[in-house]
Amino acid sequence: MRTYHVYVMASRSRVLYVGVTNDLPRRVDEHKRGLTPGFTSRYRVTRLVYFEEFADLRDAIARKRAQGSEAVPEARIGGRP
């Protein structure tokens, strides 16, 4: 059975990126090596700070939309109080 992940990546300057993938290790590696053109390579978003696993892609996409509009838990990114 295929699983899907909603993940949050961060840059050193705390720029956040929220994504969905069916292969988390591969996707994180692509971000770290700058293979993803656009936002993540421009802002050097290379550190995985949070992820959740889902069995259904629709649930993962719904969570991504919610995660993108919520404040990411600051404790997870070593952020400000």
Spell out the domain ranges in the chain: 4-77
Q: Given this model, what pLDDT does residue 74 score?
A: 45
Q: Given this model, what pLDDT does residue 68 score?
A: 61
- Rounded Cα–Cα distance for residues 7 and 72 (Å): 11
Question: What pLDDT digit, counting tens, does each position of 9-25 carry?
Answer: 998 988 888 899 999 99
Smallest CA-to-CA distance from 27 within 8, 54, 2 is with 8
Strand order in the sheet with 47-54: 16-21, 4-10, 47-54
Mean pLDDT of the chain: 83
Q: How far is CA 75 from CA 11, 60, 66, 81, in A?
A: 15, 22, 18, 8
Question: What pLDDT digit, counting tens, does each position of 23-54 carry?
Answer: 999 999 999 999 878 888 888 989 999 999 99
CATH class entry, domain 4-77: alpha beta
Q: What is the pTM of this model?
A: 0.80
